Structure 1
Amino acid sequence: MAQPARAIVIGGGIGGLAAAAALHLKGWSVTVLERAPALDPVGAAISLAPNALRALDVLGIGEEIRDLAAWQGDGGLRTPGGRWLSRSSAEAAAARFGGPLVLLPRATLVDRLAALLPPGTVRTATTASLADPGDRNRPARVTAGEEELEADLVVGADGINSRVRTALFPGRPGPVYAGFTTWRLLIPVPGAEFASHETWGRGRIWGTHPLKDGRVYAYAAAAAPAGERAPDDERAELLRRYGDWHHPIPAVLAAARPADVLRHDVHHLARPLPAYHAGRTVLLGDAAHAMPPSLGQGGNQAVEDAVVLAHHGPDLAAYTAARLPRTTAIARQAVRVARLSMTGNRAAVAVRNTALAALSQAGPALFLRSFDGIADWRPPYASGRHHAGTQ
């Protein structure tokens, strides 16, 4: 009996694990190499739109993840004083895109993806590098510690500072600072009842969302010099910047401890790559198309990448053709939305808020319109336990 084709995935984040699971379902023998000592994801939570949920249907876990949906009733966009600029609802999103928006802890998704893989697939505490991308006549080679491994396919899922990307495209511009920094926290907030919302101020935004497990996911972003950090702690910095904003923001900050707050500057790939593959090696997720988080699509696009890659198998040119135009367009839209939300000019903010309120009265909320052409994506094939809306 012929041996199954072998794939090595470099990076054990959401995109890497989804790719490993999708390839495994297609009959590949897969090894995941993760340099961290454990699969502990960076980031408090992730929002999964219907496009990513359909990709997870291919892996057989879409329904399980949908059951974690917590957004109910009205939500939308607000000003720091609490005025609603635009309203939307979970029901409206589901009707528009054929499914819900699901917010869940990143660790939950990582655990579900890892559980799809055979024991021993994931090797943690393993630093890997691409030694040879391979070609039609020879396998790709990966150095992992003292070992050198050969594979029919190498997947570079090693994040925004991808070493695989640098090896494939030396001399290409790397990630650039987007001009703003972010904070995230995932905590219980006793007695806090509120509608899910994002709030836009001058050069600052805040989002607060309830999760099904009873905790609250909150995030903030503000224009700031790259590398700047609070002189005391990041909770104190959030209090200075957002402490007088509307409910439930003060309650969230009161419930937080300094150790609960994660802060990261935002970088993105401003110049698209010429391709997402070379030889037998392919890139996905942030390694291929890192984008600002303003559409919440970074992880979603990585999951899409994974199932499309498995669909095309060794035809990596077809994968690039399917993924590069779509992800480039979404990344550019994310940059535009980030500029709109993060503007610090007082007059521009007034014009923006007036326009948002008027547009909301005229049709679906900006929150929903911004997902047109994104959340309605469907995978090229279906497998596992899929949702009725995938066909």
Structure 2
Amino acid sequence: MSDRFLVSGGARLSGEVAVGGAKNSVLKLMAAALLAEGTTRLTNSPEIADVPLMADVLRGLGAVVRIDHDTVEIDAPAEPKYHADFDAVKQFRASVCVLGPLMARCHRAVVALPGGDAIGSRPLDMHQAGLRALGAHSSIEHGCVVAEADTLVGAPVALEFPSVGATENILMAAVLADGVTTIDNAAREPEVVDLCVMLQQMGARIDGAGTSTLTVTGVDRLHPTTHRVVGDRIVGATWGIAAVMTRGDVTVHGVVPEHLQLVLNKLVDAGAQVDRFTDGFRVRQENRPVAVNVSTLPFPGFPTDLQPMAIGMAAIADGMSVITENVFEARFRFVEEMVRLGADARTDGHHAVVRGSERLSSAPVWCSDIRAGAGLVLAGLVADGVTEVHDVEHIDRGYPRFVENLRSLGGAIERVG
């Protein structure tokens, strides 16, 4: 039986909290270390469950990986193994990001289809199409992505959707390809920019980071580097939304506020006072939040990873909110658990209609993914009585020191087996 959280409602969150490196960046940076023989060092790594899992994936490919709190060292071999078919790969989605580096270094890859959060279909069609454009043959065989090429040659690649994972895999394959690759409709997320920055430090030639067109001029080889992982904007925003829901006063350090511009603007619309500074922001909420509408979109839009928190905020807001999910169709599974907590919410296709209540009521609920788990805990903070949140190992995959940080802000939460 998995651990669960006991969350007591009624506390007003107040204080300061520091955010570490981004989950959605560090795992890709670890994979990128395979592109250069020798030791690459990542600092500001989050202490989350997925980092040791990715370390196991890299070890299976021949790398030596050392983890010391917030520092990860990856010593990549001269000739990486190309077959990633083992248990760690199947446990989380980001494991597929070794596909690009393996194609760049080995010109072949066999990577078990990944697992991860139950938030809807996330096919690898665009990853494969991008590799084919660079000259590879790719197929799905016996539960694995199989790709091979005599050589990779730069080419134009146009993505149907600005997929973060496809952008990253194609980018990492292209940095060692012959000639020039252009990736149109590329993802613009800060975590993609973070990957571009590290690859440039390793000697890659990349133009257009942060725009919808990436131009990659292949080089013969890359070299190891030391890189600081960008701050986790999703974790930072989670604490900001928690401040609004509990009518609290929370200061978040370790994130770039420009990475959350639309999110912070929504909190202002909900009635919060938001102060931005160089490495973070402060959110103060005195009254019940005002209902706001949210539509999830790729960056710079409202992140799909914050959709459960937006629904949690809507559930106790003054008025009716419409939350539209444009990225992952199954993410509304979370709404069923919110209804257990007394939320007046219903879904219709890509939309959730939520009528706010003064307060939610405690109940046992179950996490289906990382962000749904965090959203349920936030809802428990504004429910009467004690809410039991089950399957909290999902939260461990994305939120370092979750219980300790929440307690430091005055939240009443206990982890029990």
TM-score (norm 1): 0.25
TM-score (norm 2): 0.24
Higher relative contact order (Cα pairs below 8 Å, separated by 6+ residues): 1
